[in-house]
Amino acid sequence: MTKIVIILLSYTIILFSSILIANERDEKLRIGLLAPFSGEYKNLGESLLLSTQLALDEIDNENIVIVPRDSGSNNKIKLNTAIEEIINNQVKIIIGPVSFSSLPELKKYNDTVFISLSNKDPKISKNVINIGISLESQLNAIEKFLIENKRSKTLILYPKNVYEKFVDEKIKSLKLKKIKIFKYNSDPRILTGEIEKLTNYKQRQKNLERRKKILKKLDTERAKKELKILDSLYTLGAVNFDSIIIIDFGSSLKSVLASLVYSDVDDKTVLFTTINQWFDESIFRGN
């Protein structure tokens, strides 16, 4: 994510460098950062702030000042308070917000330019530049990738939340071929049970125990070798899909991945893909 922020800050500096030249009394370029540091999506906000700080270190330009404020998660009062506080710090350019639902509130601030990270409907409006990659383009790219990798049984997973209907509509409009959809509960206590049923986990456990019992009755070298292999497994039998697309992020996405691993879904046979993971490198480190 740091590289993305570096590029974003660099383009911002180039596009709005005239502000530095025009302001003779203060040569610093103040850029606001509007992100959810509290609420449901605070992990995203913290990740964005950390990446911005790292990006500033790499850019190494003392004339750039970042003014971060908490936009909250789906909280209009907190959002407007944060914007006003940033503007009061002589800021004309604000990176954020990350949520599409916040964009209507930005119309009030005509003299401020917002560089939104929303990927719901990327376009340029009067004072908002949306730079996010749309869900449609990501799904189309993933579908092409799955076809190239000869995957024919794809499962799309996404949570039951405020964005559920939006995702429903986008998937329907794309007319993706050979897919199944599963919507899960974001509560980890419920999620694990749902994933177990989805992957037929208990039946695959029974398959393993049944096979081991049969092999133990056989006194052959071949049976002993197979039994040794089965002793290192948790289940026996394949799941009924060969690829997964997960439309989620943050701790919720990590819970889904953990539940899939717990349910013994083998990533060597099932191809895992996700949406929007440019902002969270910890997913790939297993943190």
Per domain, the residue ranges of the chain are: 2-130, 135-199+239-285
Cβ-count burial 202-237 (b if 16+ within 10 Å, e if not): eebbeebeebeeebeeeeeeeeeebeeeeeeeebbe
The pLDDT of residue 277 is: 54
The number of beta carbons lying within 10 Å of the beta carbon of residue 146 is 23
**Which tens digits make up the pLDDT trace of 236-268?**
999 999 999 999 877 788 899 999 999 999 988
Compute the distance between CA of residue 227 and CA of residue 214 in angstroms, rounded to an integer.
10
Check: CB of residue 154 under 8 Å from CB of residue 241: yes
Q: 52: closest CA among 254, 284, 279, 285? A: 279
Q: Is 151 left (phi over 0), alpha (psi -120 to 50) or beta?
A: beta
Does this model's pTM top 0.75?
Answer: no
**Which tens digits make up the pLDDT trace of 110-165?**
888 888 776 555 555 678 877 666 677 788 888 888 889 999 899 999 999 877 88
Task: Decide whether 2-130 matches 135-199+239-285 in CATH topology.
Answer: yes
**Which tens digits make up the pLDDT trace of 161-185?**
877 888 888 888 777 777 899 999 9
Check: CB of residue 142 under 8 Å from CB of residue 273: yes
Compute the distance between CA of residue 134 and CA of residue 122 in angstroms, rounded to an integer.
6
DSSP state of 160: S
Pick one of 3.40.50.2300, 3.40.190.170, 3.40.50.300, 2.120.10.30 as the CATH number of 135-199+239-285.
3.40.50.2300
**pLDDT range class, residue 24, cuts 50, 70, 90:** very low
The pLDDT of residue 252 is: 84
The pLDDT of residue 165 is: 86
Compute the distance between CA of residue 8 and CA of residue 206 in angstroms, rounded to an integer.
52
Compute the distance between CA of residue 131 and CA of residue 28 in angstroms, rounded to an integer.
25
Q: What kind of fold does domain 2-130 have according to CATH? A: Rossmann fold (3.40.50)
Check: CB of residue 229 under 8 Å from CB of residue 260: no
